[in-house]
């Protein structure tokens, strides 16, 4: 849906005032991935838009941003869960709640029977059938480069920068964000970034029942499949909150668990608990470790985000320093030589050797044509409400604007 565009050349001032007032609550909406990628005003970037494949499929998903449960009539999900649940340990109970409140738990951290990362930084499961988490990078002097919590609606400047640098990264996408911002998600995969899941609603996974934890992972994968056409094979637990019960569910879904060794704490700056300067210090300390040889035999991963403009700007600010200090910055999957990043075989990642010799792209990413026709601006900040709601709001606003113009014409 696109609003009519009015030229100021023939618009009386009174009409301009009305239009400005209307534009304060309704900005131009994007109509394609390429269109959205051309927008430079962050506020306008975050104007919700209508994308039919998502709208048409919403009945098959939990409510966006709400903790997931299996959708009542989703027999496919029910059957997959019935199968996976047989290998999920029943002697590991949920820890606290999904909001990270563990006041009522009496977990034995010293023994750490569940390999609960949040308490012990355990990455080698106690359950022998499970593979170890990926927390570091086998390649020396290499950083596994990636960002959590996307796709962020205002990420164009950041993605433009990565494109200019010919730098690929691993993007850990939240399912609800993918459905809210499908064009932004498309941009990531089309520009050669690796896509991993980051759950449906971004809560503490060990607080969920096993079935609901399955739903958190399953529907995030389904959202990525719907919008991008691929099924991820990797995921990162929000807050790193994972134990062997959750790992078993992820393993059942074919998801490799990716953690980190260092935390930039860029995500916490918005809460006011830490300052920007402290985040810069964390980056500086990570770089200092690289300089002093800490990663000379094994590379590393630092937790960073595309959560907000601060985290993305900080990533841009520090990119040259990271690039100078580390020998290689590569997507995590590339560092692992994981050439088939998705279940579908029509995408492949370069090997580590291919990547560092200059072949940095997947072998089948689709092209993004340029078709910018941005004409209007807005001062409004849209919510991340679901698409049908926005579509409804858009219809009402369009009718109101049309009515306003007609009244002025009279």
Position of minimal CB gap to Zn ion: 148
Residue closer to Zn ion (CB basis): 148 or 191: 148
Q: Residue for token digits 């668990």?
A: 257
* Residue 398 beta carbon to Zn ion: minimum distance, rounded to whole angstroms: 35
Residue closer to Zn ion (CB basis): 30 or 134: 134
Alpha-carbon span 208 to 273, nearest angstrom:
26
Among 238, 240, 252, 350, which residue interacts with Zn ion (rule: CB under 5 A)?
238
Establish if 149 lies at the interface with Zn ion (CB under 5 A): yes
Q: Which of 130, 97, 127, 90 is nearest to 112 (CA)?
A: 127
* C-beta separation of 165 from 316 below 8 A: no
Residue closer to Zn ion (CB basis): 207 or 238: 238
Q: Cis omega (within 30 of 0) on the bond before 353?
A: no
Q: Which of 281, 228, 238, 283 is nearest to 259 (CA)?
A: 238
Residue closer to Zn ion (CB basis): 30 or 169: 169
Sheet-wide strand order for 170-173: 146-150, 170-173, 194-197, 234-235, 256-257
| Pair of tokens at residue 91 | 């002697």
Residue closer to Zn ion (CB basis): 44 or 148: 148
Alpha-carbon span 244 to 209, nearest angstrom:
13
Q: Which stretch binds Zn ion (CB under 5 A): 53-61, 79-87, 147-155, 331-339?
A: 147-155
* Residue 304 beta carbon to Zn ion: minimum distance, rounded to whole angstroms: 11
350 CB-near residues (< 8 Å, 6+ apart): 334, 339, 359, 360, 361, 362, 363
* C-beta separation of 64 from 179 below 8 A: yes
- Clarify whether 198 is annotated catalytic: no
- Clarify whether 263 is annotated catalytic: no
Which position among 148, 149, 241, 386 bears the catalytic label? Answer: 148
Residue closer to Zn ion (CB basis): 238 or 350: 238
Residues 7-26 that bind Zn ion (CB under 5 A): none
* C-beta separation of 60 from 169 below 8 A: no
* C-beta separation of 169 from 143 below 8 A: no
Residue closer to Zn ion (CB basis): 139 or 148: 148
Residues 104-143 that bind Zn ion (CB under 5 A): none
* Residue 312 beta carbon to Zn ion: minimum distance, rounded to whole angstroms: 14
- The secondary structure of residue 367, as a DSSP letter, is P
Q: Which stretch binds Zn ion (CB under 5 A): 43-51, 145-153, 271-279, 323-331?
A: 145-153
Establish if 148 lies at the interface with Zn ion (CB under 5 A): yes
Total residues contacting Zn ion by CB under 5 A comes to 3
Residue closer to Zn ion (CB basis): 62 or 89: 62
Alpha-carbon span 254 to 373, nearest angstrom:
41
Sign of the CA dihedral 285, 193, 201, 256?
negative
Q: Which stretch binds Zn ion (CB under 5 A): 84-92, 236-244, 269-277, 310-318?
A: 236-244
Q: Which stretch binds Zn ion (CB under 5 A): 45-53, 114-122, 137-145, 237-245?
A: 237-245
* C-beta separation of 331 from 145 below 8 A: yes
Alpha-carbon span 153 to 382, nearest angstrom:
10
CA–CA distances in Å: residue 291 to residues 34, 143, 169: 40, 13, 22
* Residue 364 beta carbon to Zn ion: minimum distance, rounded to whole angstroms: 28
Establish if 216 lies at the interface with Zn ion (CB under 5 A): no
* Residue 239 beta carbon to Zn ion: minimum distance, rounded to whole angstroms: 7
Establish if 251 lies at the interface with Zn ion (CB under 5 A): no
* Residue 217 beta carbon to Zn ion: minimum distance, rounded to whole angstroms: 14
Alpha-carbon span 121 to 117, nearest angstrom:
4
Establish if 35 lies at the interface with Zn ion (CB under 5 A): no
Interface mask (CB under 5 A) for Zn ion, residues 312-351, using x and -?
Answer: ----------------------------------------
The residues that are catalytic are 148, 305
Residues that bind Zn ion (CB under 5 A): 148-149, 238
């Amino acid at each position: 849906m696109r609003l009519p565009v009015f030229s100021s050349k023939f618009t009386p001032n009174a009409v301009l005032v009305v239009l400005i007032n209307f534009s304060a609550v309704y900005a131009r909406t994007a109509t394609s991935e390429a269109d959205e990628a051309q927008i430079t005003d962050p506020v306008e970037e975050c104007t919700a838009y209508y994308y039919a494949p998502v709208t048409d499929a919403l009945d098959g998903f939990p409510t966006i941003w709400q903790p997931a449960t299996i959708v009542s009539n989703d027999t496919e999900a029910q059957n997959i869960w019935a199968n996976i649940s047989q290998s999920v340990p029943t002697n590991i109970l949920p820890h606290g709640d999904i909001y990270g409140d563990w006041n009522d738990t009496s977990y034995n951290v010293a023994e750490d029977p569940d390999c609960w990362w949040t308490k012990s930084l355990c990455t080698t499961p106690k359950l022998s059938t499970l593979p170890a988490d990926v927390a570091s990078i086998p390649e020396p002097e290499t950083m596994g480069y990636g960002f959590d919590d996307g796709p962020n609606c205002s990420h164009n400047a950041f993605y433009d920068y990565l494109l200019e640098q010919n730098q690929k990264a691993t993007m850990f996408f939240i399912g609800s964000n993918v459905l809210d911002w499908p064009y932004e998600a498309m941009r990531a995969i089309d520009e050669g970034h690796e896509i991993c899941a980051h759950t449906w609603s971004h809560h503490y996974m060990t607080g969920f029942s096993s079935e609901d934890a399955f739903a958190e992972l399953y529907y995030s994968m389904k959202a990525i499949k719907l919008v991008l056409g691929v099924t991820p094979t990797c995921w990162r637990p929000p807050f790193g909150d994972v134990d062997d019960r959750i790992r078993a569910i992820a393993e059942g879904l074919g998801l490799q668990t990716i953690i980190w060794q260092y935390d930039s704490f860029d995500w916490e700056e918005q809460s006011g608990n830490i300052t920007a300067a402290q985040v810069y210090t964390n980056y500086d300390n990570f770089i200092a470790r690289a300089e002093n040889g800490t990663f000379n035999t094994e590379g590393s991963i630092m937790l960073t985000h595309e959560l907000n403009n601060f985290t993305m700007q900080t990533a841009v600010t520090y990119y040259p320093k990271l690039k100078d200090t580390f020998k290689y910055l590569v997507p995590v999957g590339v560092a692992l030589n994981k050439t088939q990043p998705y279940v579908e075989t029509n995408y492949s990642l370069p090997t580590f050797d291919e990547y560092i010799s200059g072949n940095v792209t997947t072998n089948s990413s689709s092209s993004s044509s340029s078709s910018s026709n941005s004409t209007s601006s807005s001062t409004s900040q849209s919510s991340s409400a679901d698409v049908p709601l926005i579509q409804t709001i858009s219809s009402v606003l369009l009718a109101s604007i049309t009515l306003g113009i007609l009244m002025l014409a009279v």
